[in-house]
Amino acid sequence: MKTLFKNCYVLCGHEIKFTSLLVEDEYIRYIGDEPQEYDYLRDMKGALLMPGLVNAHAHGPMTLLRGVGGGLALQDWLNNAIFPREAKMKPDDIRIGENWAIIEMLTAGITCTAEMYDFPWELGESLVKSGMKGNICRVGLSFSDQEEIPPNRFNECVEMVEKFNDPTGKVVADFCLHSEYLSTDSIVEKIAEANKKYKRLVHVHVAETKAETDECKLRHNGLTPIQYFNKMGILDQKVYAAHCVWVNDDDLAIMKEKDVSIVHNPTSNMKLGSGFAPIRKAMANGVNVCLGTDGVASNNSLNIFKEMHLASIIHNGHRLDPLSIKPPQVIDMATINGAKALGRYDTGILEVGKKADIIAVSLDKPHMYPVIDVLSLLCYSVQSSDVVMTMVDGKILYDHGDYTTMDFEKAKFELAQSLKSIL
Amino acid sequence: MKTLFKNCYVLCGHEIKFTSLLVEDEYIRYIGDEPQEYDYLRDMKGALLMPGLVNAHAHGPMTLLRGVGGGLALQDWLNNAIFPREAKMKPDDIRIGENWAIIEMLTAGITCTAEMYDFPWELGESLVKSGMKGNICRVGLSFSDQEEIPPNRFNECVEMVEKFNDPTGKVVADFCLHSEYLSTDSIVEKIAEANKKYKRLVHVHVAETKAETDECKLRHNGLTPIQYFNKMGILDQKVYAAHCVWVNDDDLAIMKEKDVSIVHNPTSNMKLGSGFAPIRKAMANGVNVCLGTDGVASNNSLNIFKEMHLASIIHNGHRLDPLSIKPPQVIDMATINGAKALGRYDTGILEVGKKADIIAVSLDKPHMYPVIDVLSLLCYSVQSSDVVMTMVDGKILYDHGDYTTMDFEKAKFELAQSLKSIL
């Protein structure tokens, strides 16, 4: 099947061309002005084609908790609003919450997500059915070295990477450690040892708050979370580390050397009062930086365009320097850097031979005109509602309000039903 | 003419009711569940009615420059990208740029704007034709005490407040001083003196950057911009002061005493690297805080919902405290506080007897569901594209993509023509 997109702007790297783009099966086969054979023609009427957005840190099923516990202090919010509700969630609630997250993300032009949440098999099932790409994981954590608590967690982590298999390769299973503060030496060692064999990516929270980082140093002879994970061998495989707000210069040097990606979650970091991740310095040091939404409960959206906007401006404010972060860097964070962080080297950019993970952004709304500088529009002006089409591996999953794999009304009905038991 | 809105959530202060609301002519006449007579019924299908948003600091015609000079340092951007283009703008360009700004703002649920730009008569004409509310002004500034430069600027300021007259009262003329750094003592004194007679509001930029504030102290024996304007008598009438990033505790005490409103422009302050205005402290001290977009060139949108999102979260990040700013405060900033700042005491809240400045926000999109906490949705999740209707003084100006007073296609065509001469 060949689909030819015509009359479109195409974001090629950081360059904009007004041209056409041919998708054949899962791949981008041609970008240019020469006539092409096609089965299906789409006149894009001046919309912009760009790479699908990558959400490299999410807890999708928390869509169920959007707005729960607003106005509470962090520990109060976690202990009295979030944890009791999460404890009530059954596998079916997870599937339902993830379905809603997928609908929200496809609508917002996200083609690939990295999900860290309980019931990963249900997450995987929802993602595979949706046609979206995803990195999933069993959350590795333990509270006791004597006896693994929760029991068998390590075995479940291994089982996930060993047995989860999406034949299309769109959904993959990674290893995961929740964080230094929810891990004992024992589970960290065991995961590092197991990963010598499996060589999977590792998804982890790192240095989100100052307190967490200070306490890690007390627990581990002055080692920061990154230094601790490095010592334990976790960084010997490729890691994507969410937050990294409080990483220091030594940490950044280790991350560069070990190819650890930072997943920057600016909305969550602002809303929860965590602070400003040193992403400018990280990028200057050659560390790969990408973007994540975190869970809806601490955001409250799954909207990478919002993360791009915040990443574009808050560091200028924090550093009192309007040139801290520039649009091309932010475009990369949201696309190719995210793809790299998730071990996906065949996507994240519109190039011949790459997978056709493509979104169309309308330039028709008042806030997107005049079209003088498209990169600026994408970083400062766009809204996720400007996304009019989302394609993954050559298959259109969202098209002007319609979904081709998700049942919107059913998903909404099921979400309402789930909420009755959770709230 | 009586219009009854049914099946809607209604934001009454900080409370949400699911009820109906009756508008008669320009006024809200009834909110409740009793049957009402009407000429026209609107089934809102579960949308939310809330007060129209107030943009209390804008430079509307800069829509013409959206994205111009991206990636340049501040002075370079002003001197080489913005000022040369502004110098080319003729009155007709101003009208065209303001028309586009009005279209963008009505689409985004803004019912009232405070505009500071050259050619205020053209601004006023555009606003009056549109049916939107606005505070306009001739920008007071002078570079020499010997000879007013630009010449006759003071007279033009007075002429504006004396002669501009919108019979509907929706558009009003204020006094304006650009800022301490673009004012001589002479023009400041003359405006303060004249305003003893006219008793108008004064629109002014205050303490946007640290450098500006430091230099003010050097020029004026240690006085900050607020202290300087106070000494010169400007604060004897009601002032709305844009930015106030670098105001100190003494300034806040003066602002409270003199009823000076802070117009917080978080996007602009972040993008331009100006810093974090102390709005939490200001509010704790009883200073009225509202929101503005600043010009598109330093934003790059006219979207008060984006300002609400930033105001809701960036101060948490800056203060490392997730409870710095709460949704009810932010809702007030965007509505009733903005109305108060602009001297409008008959609007900014949905109450019987107030003017019907009302917007409808759809709760139907994936990012707005579930509806557990509407105030949270409005501060953290909403996009301006969720606005489906904008009503000013009982007249619908925007309705599901259509405009009742603005010609969208003509405005877009004219903008493209203007750009040819400016760029």
pLDDT on residue A119: 96
**Which chain A residue's Cα is nearest to B104?**
A366
CB contact under 8 A, B373 and A276: no
pLDDT on residue A71: 72
**Which chain B residue's Cα is nearest to A318?**
B275
pLDDT on residue A159: 98
Report the C-alpha gap between B384 and B406 in whole angstroms: 19
Q: For residue A77, give Cα distances in angstroms to A68, A80, A98, A263, B367.
A: 9, 6, 22, 24, 21
DSSP A366-397: GGG-S-S-HHHIIIII--GGGEEEEEETTEEE
Chain B residue numbers touching A73 (CB-CB < 8 A)? 322-323
B46 to chain A, any CB pair closer than 8 A? The answer is no
How far does A420 lie from chain B, in Å, by closest CA?
A: 11
- Segment A206-240, tens digit of pLDDT: 999 999 999 999 999 999 999 999 999 999 999 99
CB contact under 8 A, B376 and A300: yes
**Poorest-confidence range of A291-295, A354-358, B67-71, B127-131?**
B67-71
- The B residues from 271 to 290 touching A (CB cutoff 8 Å) are 271-276
Q: Which of B267, B365, B386 sits opposite A313 (nearest CB)?
A: B267
**Residue B26 · residue B259 · CB < 8 Å:** no
A383 to chain B, any CB pair closer than 8 A? The answer is yes
CB contact under 8 A, A306 and B309: yes
Q: Which of B100, B272, B316 sits opposite A273 (nearest CB)?
A: B316
CB contact under 8 A, A320 and B381: no
- Segment A97-129, tens digit of pLDDT: 999 999 999 999 999 999 999 999 999 999 999
Chain A residue numbers touching B377 (CB-CB < 8 A)? 66-67, 300
**How many C-alpha atoms does A195 have within 13 Å on its Cβ side?**
27
Q: Which of B9, B14, B66, B410 to mutate to test the interface with A (most CBs of A within 10 A)?
A: B66
B376 to chain A, any CB pair closer than 8 A? The answer is yes
Q: What is the mean pLDDT of each successive set of 10 residues along chain B, which is 423 residues long?
A: 97 97 98 97 97 98 91 81 92 97 98 97 98 98 93 97 96 98 97 98 97 97 98 98 98 98 98 97 98 95 98 97 96 98 98 98 96 96 98 98 98 96 89
**Residue A224 · residue A244 · CB < 8 Å:** no
CB contact under 8 A, A67 and B372: yes
Strand partners, B27: B24, B355
**Which chain A residue's Cα is nearest to B383?**
A383
Q: Which residue has the higher pLDDT, A83 or B195?
A: B195
A78 to chain B, any CB pair closer than 8 A? The answer is no
pLDDT on residue B49: 98
Q: Which of B381, B397, B409 to mutate to test the interface with A (most CBs of A within 10 A)?
A: B381
CA-wise closest residue to A213 among A188, A236, A179, A253: A179
Q: Is the pLDDT of residue A72 over 80?
A: no
Chain B residue numbers touching A110 (CB-CB < 8 A)? none
Question: Before B91, cis peptide (omega within 30)?
Answer: no
CB atoms near residue A17 (< 10 Å): 16
pLDDT on residue B190: 97
Report the C-alpha gap between A260 and A251 in whole angstroms: 10
Report the C-alpha gap between B312 and B323 in whole angstroms: 10
User: Per-residue pLDDT averaged across A366-371, rounded?
Assistant: 96
B268 to chain A, any CB pair closer than 8 A? The answer is no
Report the C-alpha gap between B140 and B150 in whole angstroms: 9
**Residue A72 · residue A79 · CB < 8 Å:** no
Q: Is the pLDDT of residue A186 over 80?
A: yes
How far does A320 lie from chain B, in Å, by closest CA?
A: 4
Chain B residue numbers touching A375 (CB-CB < 8 A)? 70
CB contact under 8 A, A384 and B367: yes
CB contact under 8 A, B103 and A71: no
Q: Is the pLDDT of residue A259 over 80?
A: yes
User: Per-residue pLDDT averaged across A26-53, rounded?
Assistant: 97
Q: Is the pLDDT of residue A59 over 90?
A: yes
Question: Where would I find the H helices in A259-296?
Answer: 266-271, 279-284
**What radius of gyration, in Å, describes the C-alpha atoms of chain A?**
21
Q: Is the pLDDT of residue A70 over 80?
A: no
B320 to chain A, any CB pair closer than 8 A? The answer is yes
Strand partners, A239: A202
CB contact under 8 A, B73 and A317: no
Chain B residue numbers touching A367 (CB-CB < 8 A)? 104, 107-108, 301-303, 384
Output the CA torsion B46→B51→B53→B54 (10° steps). Answer: 180
For the entire predicted model, the pTM comes to 0.98
**Which chain A residue's Cα is nearest to B320?**
A273
Chain A residue numbers touching B9 (CB-CB < 8 A)? none
Q: Which of B310, B367, B414 to mutate to test the interface with A (most CBs of A within 10 A)?
A: B367
A74 to chain B, any CB pair closer than 8 A? The answer is yes
pLDDT on residue B377: 97
CB contact under 8 A, A367 and B108: yes
> Which stretches does DSSP call E strand in B87-210?
110-115, 133-137, 171-177, 202-206
**Which chain A residue's Cα is nearest to B364?**
A412
Chain B residue numbers touching A65 (CB-CB < 8 A)? 372
Chain B residue numbers touching A371 (CB-CB < 8 A)? 67
- Segment B51-94, tens digit of pLDDT: 999 999 999 999 999 998 877 777 888 889 888 999 999 999 99
Chain B residue numbers touching A385 (CB-CB < 8 A)? 365, 383, 385-386
User: Per-residue pLDDT averaged across A408-420, rounded?
Assistant: 96
User: Per-residue pLDDT averaged across A147-157, rounded?
Assistant: 96
CB contact under 8 A, B369 and A423: no
CB atoms near residue B417 (< 10 Å): 12
Report the C-alpha gap between A126 and A111 in whole angstroms: 14
Angle at A235 between CA A231 and CA A240, to 5 degrees: 135
> Which stretches does DSSP call E strand in A120-225?
133-137, 171-177, 202-206
Tell me, what's the ipTM?
A: 0.97
Q: What are phi and psi of B155, to 5 degrees?
A: -60, -40
pLDDT on residue B55: 98
**Which chain A residue's Cα is nearest to B408?**
A366
How far does B378 lie from chain A, in Å, by closest CA?
A: 10
CA-wise closest residue to A368 among B400, B410, B300, B413: B300
Q: Which of A271, A300, A312 sits opposite B316 (nearest CB)?
A: A271
CB contact under 8 A, B386 and A381: no
A385 to chain B, any CB pair closer than 8 A? The answer is yes
Q: Which of A380, A402, A422 to mutate to test the interface with B (most CBs of B within 10 A)?
A: A380
